[in-house]
């Protein structure tokens, strides 16, 4: 494949999407299970005169909450600027279904998208895609990787649990409050405990807010959908998310521990459903992103996962932004072309591993002056395959990771290019 004109990596175009208008999208029901409609939203590439690449995005929410209607702003802006379709997927939430069922839901969503590809409804190249996710969605993306045929060109996992046997995922902090805060008040703790072991899939929801801080009308306006209905069942789902955080039982609910007969069987379930169990030499190229100050999940989990893939010979990059907490990227109001292009070209083999960290620097793209100052302190750990980390400080990263404005991409890569006019 010859030289292609690329979009500028230093675009200053801004698009605040935290509560404003969204670019053109279409909503779809990709499956119906036990009477529950499973949904996805497609943010179409601005120029679909020819088939474009696409990203399948899986939201976070501790397996018990979250929504696919409005991804974090930088995902939307970045894909729009890079002329990539963004496909945001809903899946059934815990505890009504287990983790494996969530992975299967996402697998069916990908199959549905392939069926739409290159039709008037969706002009994308069915084989030219990456699966990405944050937190719980990152776990699902990793678990999904080897279930798709053909496999994705790459996986991107933000601050994702990878080892479900880690005791820290089930241990409340020592200073935990005596009662969960923010509950709806409709259910007492005994009722919430019973509900946490109710695995009736007919009651499953596919989205739920993580807090009780917005009205039904506000959520409908924010998410651009009339499907929001804050019923007692919806409020129970949000309560279960808050209750699970208080008890650190999110994964116990998602793995349906209440159905496991003993500790031996429980350990087997934890190991078999951990994303780590899917890691093989054939795993797609993978990017991990995890803040060093994550208060919910130790970045050590991501480091161990990256080490495991690296040992298997999988092209792997891990970036650990210094001082960043869980979901740090939700505050980023601008997604630049550079963020998106270098990320996907990285996992697809277009540029080389080091470029991903440059693409994720977010410098000049953060929402507040304080964040822009903090951006200068970001550090990088790049894990090559094979070989050790090659850059451990921002200065080395800045000098080493130079992305050419024009680059020859191999035919096997996911080529993200500006259309020629």
b/e 234-258 (16+ beta carbons within 10 angstroms → b): bbbbbbbbbbbbbbbbbbbbbbbbe
- Residue whose structure tokens are 């801004």: 14
Q: 267: number of CA atoms within 13 Å, CB side?
A: 2
Instruction: Compute the distance between CA of residue 177 and CA of residue 201 in angstroms, rounded to an integer.
Output: 31
Task: Please state whether the predicted TM-score (pTM) of the whole model is above 0.75.
Answer: yes
pLDDT digits over 65-123, tens only?
A: 999 999 998 888 888 888 889 999 999 999 999 999 999 999 999 999 999 998 888 99
- Among 316, 302, 196, smallest CA distance to 252 is for 196
Cα three-residue angle 2-7-11, rounded to 5 degrees: 160
Instruction: Compute the distance between CA of residue 8 and CA of residue 406 in angstroms, rounded to an integer.
Output: 9
CB 350 within 8 A of CB 367: no
pLDDT digits over 280-334, tens only?
A: 999 998 888 888 899 999 999 999 999 999 899 888 888 787 888 999 888 765 5
The whole-chain average pLDDT of the chain stands at: 78
- Among 3, 15, 37, smallest CA distance to 337 is for 15
Instruction: Compute the distance between CA of residue 57 and CA of residue 88 in angstroms, rounded to an integer.
Output: 5
Domain ranges, ordered by start, for the chain? 23-403
Q: 232: number of CA atoms within 13 Å, CB side?
A: 6
Instruction: Compute the distance between CA of residue 387 and CA of residue 180 in angstroms, rounded to an integer.
Output: 46
Instruction: Compute the distance between CA of residue 337 and CA of residue 342 in angstroms, rounded to an integer.
Output: 8
- Residue whose structure tokens are 């991903």: 356
What's the fold here for domain 23-403?
A: Rossmann fold (3.40.50)
Backbone angles phi, psi at 65, to 5 degrees: -155, -175
pLDDT digits over 245-260, tens only?
A: 999 999 999 999 999 9
Cα three-residue angle 151-30-93, rounded to 5 degrees: 90
């Amino acid at each position: 494949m010859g030289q292609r004109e690329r979009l500028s990596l230093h675009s200053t175009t801004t698009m605040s999407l935290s509560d404003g208008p969204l670019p053109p999208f279409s909503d779809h029901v990709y499956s119906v299970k036990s009477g529950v409609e499973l949904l996805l939203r497609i943010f179409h590439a601005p120029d679909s005169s020819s088939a474009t690449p696409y990203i399948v995005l899986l939201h976070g929410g501790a397996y018990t909450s979250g929504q696919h209607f409005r991804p974090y702003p930088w995902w939307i802006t970045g894909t729009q600027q890079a002329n990539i379709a963004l496909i945001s997927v809903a899946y059934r939430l815990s505890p009504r279904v287990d983790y494996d069922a969530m992975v299967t839901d996402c697998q069916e969503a990908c199959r549905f998208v392939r069926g739409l590809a290159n039709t008037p409804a969706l002009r994308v190249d069915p084989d030219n895609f990456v699966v990405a996710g944050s937190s719980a969605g990152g776990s699902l993306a990793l678990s999904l990787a080897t279930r798709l045929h053909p496999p994705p060109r790459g996986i991107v996992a933000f601050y994702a649990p990878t080892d479900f046997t880690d005791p820290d995922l089930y241990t409340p902090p020592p200073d935990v409050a005596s009662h969960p805060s923010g509950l709806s008040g409709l259910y007492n703790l005994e009722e919430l405990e019973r509900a946490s072991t109710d695995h009736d899939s007919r009651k499953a929801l596919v989205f739920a807010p993580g807090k009780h801080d917005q009205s039904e009308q506000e959520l409908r306006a924010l998410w651009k959908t009339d499907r929001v209905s804050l019923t007692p069942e919806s409020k129970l789902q949000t309560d279960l998310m808050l209750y699970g955080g208080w008890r650190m039982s999110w994964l116990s609910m998602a793995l349906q521990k209440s159905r496991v007969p003993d500790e031996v069987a429980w350990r087997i379930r934890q190991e078999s459903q951990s994303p780590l169990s899917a890691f093989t030499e054939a795993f797609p190229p993978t990017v991990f992103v995890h803040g060093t100050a994550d208060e919910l999940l130790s970045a050590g989990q991501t480091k161990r996962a990256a080490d495991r893939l690296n040992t298997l010979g999988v092209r792997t990059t891990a970036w650990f932004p210094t001082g960043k907490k869980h979901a740090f990227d939700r505050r980023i109001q601008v997604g630049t072309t550079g963020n998106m292009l270098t990320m996907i070209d990285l996992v697809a083999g277009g540029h080389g591993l080091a470029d991903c960290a440059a693409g994720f620097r977010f410098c000049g793209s953060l929402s507040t002056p304080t964040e822009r100052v903090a951006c200068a302190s970001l550090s990088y750990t790049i894990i090559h395959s094979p070989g050790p980390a090659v850059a451990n400080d921002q200065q080395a990263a800045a000098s080493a990771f130079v992305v050419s404005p024009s680059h020859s991409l191999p035919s096997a890569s996911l080529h993200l290019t500006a259309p020629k006019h």
